């Protein structure tokens, strides 16, 4: 599963597989092409918008193009949200040659017209189908028509396919059945020659996180999300993965906790998709939406806005636009965080729930991010000791003291520089007279960032101010970070080794 192997096993592998194009990377690791992203795409999690959560089947050409324009005007495209994804309900059937026919009423100019418009705006076009007889909305599915549908997508300039699991004719129940069914579309897309990100939507059914990374770029790992922070729902019966009835109506904390056991199955080119974001849809408090967004970033989930972007409120634009949190999601490490501990607590909320947890994730530049989640019904003081944060370093191989515990760490709050509602409102007003300044590569803004001008990877190397939040303290060697976390909220902190500027490589510790 690992994209790189040791030099010794590499020699054996090369002999067996006659891999001629493998090479040694700058850092000495062996790179075997095809062992990371299967098609070279989606090296960091995809970002964009999908209409489903907010609009369901009420889709049309103007919804897509108006949303795309808002994504450009609000700076969202330049934060990295570059896929505009048309979900279910666009097809009315097949023609005599077996090709899908877009609804002529809602899409009077066809799909190529939309793709061309999006491309001219610097955006990409995503479409949807199902690996079944029908889609979930009972439109034509692609099972048995994979070749025609892949050709249709390629011919219409589609850059991304979301591929659902409804009406699969019983071709599920074992990983091999699901693998084979999803692999047909993978091969069909490849055969078109057009680079198309392939995103599975099979709800974690048959454990895609254990087999889908050689045929796809992302895979859903749970039943569908709904706009609730933690309300249990019988239609989403599992609380851990693996799960034999994924269901739907899964809350934010339900989905997050299902990521804990499978976190190692996230890698560059294949991301565990925690489903589209609900931020903006009205069912959660601001702190709950901050937690939702923080943890989707922390776990390298795709960040797909699932709301009415045109009508975003200032507060919700500010959440979607936090560059320090997006930089965490887009970190070149392309890994998911680990849950270090999770406790139940007694201060329960209206659903009788109370839980607290600590998560950590190592980043490419040697920084470490921690998240303290308070699911109690009131503000709590929460602690993260270095000993807990660096648990993996303590317990790796033969047990030894973790070098990280001997260091002092500066702590940066990734939400401290959240854009004010005034600044967000000025952006949303789309008034050229009062619009905030354009963001350039050398911008010193602490609230805004432009990945079109400079990638997150380069911005992180260059210490771009917007990507690091605000320094709020430090933790001495063997110390503990203590923070007061409000009800249903998250403290999200980037720890940088003091003195080195945090740029020390993990290997050098």
Ligand X SMILES: *[C@@H]1O[C@H](CO)[C@@H](O)[C@H](O)[C@H]1NC(C)=O
- Contact criterion met (CB below 8 Å) for 76 and 309: yes
Nearest CB to ligand X, comparing residues 14 and 453 = 453
Binding mask 420-449 for ligand X (x = CB under 6 A): -----------x-xx---xxxxx-------
Find the binding residues for ligand X in span 68-87 (CB under 6 A).
75, 78
Q: Which of 69, 287, 348, 474 binds ligand X (CB under 6 A)?
A: 348
CB of 396 to ligand X, least distance (A): 26
How many chain residues touch ligand X (CB under 6 A)? Answer: 46
30, 35, 63, 252: residue in contact with ligand X (rule CB under 6 A):
63
Shortest separation between residue 445's beta carbon and ligand X, angstroms: 10
Q: CA nearest 46: which of 155, 186, 222, 198? A: 198
Tokens coding 335: 């890994």
- Please tell me whether residue 39 binds ligand X under the rule CB under 6 A: yes
Is 95 near ligand X (CB under 6 A)? Answer: yes
Q: Which of 20, 346, 398, 399 binds ligand X (CB under 6 A)?
A: 346
Nearest approach, Cβ of 288 to ligand X (angstroms)? 13
Distance, first Cα to last Cα, the chain: 26
318 three-class SS: helix
| Rounded distance between C-alpha atoms, residue 178 and residue 49, angstroms | 27
Residue 453 found at the interface with ligand X (CB under 6 A): yes
503 binds ligand X (CB under 6 A): yes
The residue ranges of DSSP E strands in 235-365, in sequence order, are: 271-273, 303-305, 338-344, 355-362
- Output helix, strand, coil percentages for the chain, rounded to the nearest 5: 30, 20, 50
Binding segment (CB under 6 A) for ligand X, from list 124-132, 258-266, 326-334, 461-469: 461-469
CB 497 to ligand X: min, Å: 10
H/E element, 319: helix 314-320
Closer Cβ to ligand X, 232 or 242, answer by number: 232
169 makes contact with ligand X (CB under 6 A) = no
CB of 5 to ligand X, least distance (A): 18
Secondary structure (3-state) at 497: strand
Residues 6+ apart with CB under 8 A from 355: 253, 342, 343, 344, 345, 373, 375, 376
Residue placing its CB nearer to ligand X in the complex, 69 or 348: 348
Binds ligand X (CB under 6 A): choice among 60, 135, 257, 374: 60
Q: How far is CA 476 from CA 14, 61, 105, 387, 491, in A?
A: 46, 56, 64, 12, 19
Other C-beta atoms lying within 10 Å of the C-beta of residue 98: 13
Helix (H/G/I), strand (E/B), else coil: 438: coil
Among residues 202 and 450, whose Cβ is nearest to ligand X?
450
Kindly state the tokens that stand for 167: 């009406």
Whether 149 is catalytic: no
Instruction: Please say if 27 is a catalytic residue.
Output: no
Contacts of residue 11, Cβ cutoff 8 Å, sequence gap at least 6: none
Q: Least Å distance between CB 434 and ligand X?
A: 5
Positions 481 through 500 that interact with ligand X (CB under 6 A): 482
Nearer to ligand X among residue 75 and residue 375 (C-beta): 75
Catalytic residue among 50, 87, 164, 206: 164
| 96 near ligand X, judged by CB under 6 A | yes
C-alpha angle with apex 268: 220 to 17, nearest 5 degrees? 110
- Give the nearest distance from C-beta 143 to ligand X in angstroms: 19
Binding mask 377-416 for ligand X (x = CB under 6 A): x---x-x---------------------------------
Binding status of residue 187 toward ligand X by CB under 6 A: no
Q: Check residue 345 for interaction with ligand X (CB under 6 A).
A: yes
Tokens of 54: 């907010």
> Which residues does 327 contact at the CB level (< 8 Å), separation at least 6?
449, 456, 459, 460, 467
Closer CB to ligand X, 120 or 346, in the complex: 346
Q: Judged by CB under 6 A, which of 349, 408, 421, 479 binds ligand X?
A: 349
Q: Which is nearest to 302 in space by CA: 212, 451, 198, 381?
A: 198
Beta strands, E only, 37-147: 47-50, 83-85, 91-94, 100-102, 124-130
The residue of the chain with the least Cβ separation from ligand X equals 501
CB of 224 to ligand X, least distance (A): 19
Residue 193 in the binding site for ligand X (CB under 6 A): yes
| Residues making up the chain, counted from first to last | 509
DSSP string, 459-487: HHHTT-GGGS-EEEEEE-TT-EEEEEE-T
In this chain, which of 452, 479, 486, 509 binds ligand X, going by CB under 6 A? 452
Tell me which of 69, 190, 313, 387 binds ligand X, using CB under 6 A: 190
* Three-class SS of 409-425: EEEEECCCCCCCHHHHH
In the chain, what's the furthest Cα-to-Cα distance?
Answer: 71
CB of 463 to ligand X, least distance (A): 4
Is residue 350 at the binding interface for ligand X, with CB under 6 A as the rule?
yes
Cβ-based nearer residue to ligand X, 239 or 383: 383
What are the catalytic residues?
A: 164, 224
For ligand X, the binding residues (CB under 6 A) are 34, 38-40, 55, 58, 60, 62-63, 75, 78, 95-97, 99, 152, 190, 193-195, 345-346, 348-350, 377, 381, 383, 431, 433-434, 438-442, 450, 452-453, 461-463, 480, 482, 501, 503
């Amino acid at each position: 599963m690992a994209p790189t192997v040791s030099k010794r096993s590499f020699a054996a592998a090369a002999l067996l597989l006659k891999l001629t194009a493998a090479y040694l990377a700058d850092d000495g690791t062996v790179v075997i092409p095809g062992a990371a992203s299967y098609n070279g795409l989606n090296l960091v999690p995809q970002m964009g918008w999908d209409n489903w959560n907010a609009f369901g089947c009420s889709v049309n050409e103007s919804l897509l193009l108006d949303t795309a324009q808002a994504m450009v005007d609000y700076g969202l495209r330049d934060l990295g949200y570059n896929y505009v994804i048309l979900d279910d309900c666009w097809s009315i059937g097949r023609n005599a040659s077996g090709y899908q026919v877009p609804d002529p009423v809602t899409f009077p100019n066809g799909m190529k017209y939309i793709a061309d418009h999006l491309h001219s705006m610097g955006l990409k076009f995503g479409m949807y189908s199902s690996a079944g007889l029908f889609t979930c909305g009972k439109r034509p599915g692609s099972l048995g028509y994979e070749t025609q549908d892949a050709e249709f997508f390629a011919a219409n300039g589609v850059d991304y396919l979301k591929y659902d699991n409804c009406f699969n004719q019983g071709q599920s129940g074992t990983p091999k059945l699901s693998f084979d069914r999803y692999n047909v579309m993978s091969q069909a897309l490849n055969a078109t020659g057009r680079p198309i990100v392939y995103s599975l939507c099979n709800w974690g059914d048959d454990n895609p996180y254990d087999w889908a990374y050689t045929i796809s770029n992302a895979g859903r790992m749970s039943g569908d999300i709904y706009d609730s922070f933690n309300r249990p729902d019988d239609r989403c019966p599992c609380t851990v993965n693996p799960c034999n009835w994924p269901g739907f109506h899964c809350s934010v904390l339900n989905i997050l906790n299902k990521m804990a056991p499978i976190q190692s199955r996230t890698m560059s080119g294949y991301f565990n998709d925690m489903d589209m974001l609900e931020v903006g849809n009205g069912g959660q408090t601001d702190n709950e939406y901050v937690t939702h967004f923080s943890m989707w970033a922390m776990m390298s989930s795709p960040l797909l806005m699932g709301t009415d972007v045109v009508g975003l409120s200032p507060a919700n634009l500010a959440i979607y636009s936090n560059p320090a949190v997006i930089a965490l999601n887009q970190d070149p490490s392309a890994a998911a965080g680990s849950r270090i501990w999770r406790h139940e607590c007694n201060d329960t909320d209206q659903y009788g729930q109370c839980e607290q947890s600590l998560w950590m994730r190592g980043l490419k530049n040697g920084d470490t991010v921690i998240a303290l989640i308070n699911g109690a019904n009131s503000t709590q003081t929460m602690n993260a000791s270095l000993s807990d944060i660096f648990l993996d370093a303590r317990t790796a191989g033969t047990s030894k003291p973790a070098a990280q515990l001997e260091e002092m760490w500066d702590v940066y709050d990734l939400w401290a520089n959240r854009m004010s509602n005034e600044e967000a409102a000025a952006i949303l007003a789309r008034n050229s007279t009062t619009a905030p300044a354009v963001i350039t590569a050398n911008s010193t803004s602490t609230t805004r960032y432009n990945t079109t001008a400079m990638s997150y990877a380069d911005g992180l190397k260059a210490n771009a101010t917007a990507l690091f939040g605000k320094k709020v303290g430090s933790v001495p060697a063997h110390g503990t970070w203590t923070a007061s976390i409000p009800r249903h909220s998250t403290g999200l902190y980037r720890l940088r080794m003091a003195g080195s500027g945090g740029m020390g490589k993990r290997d050098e510790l």
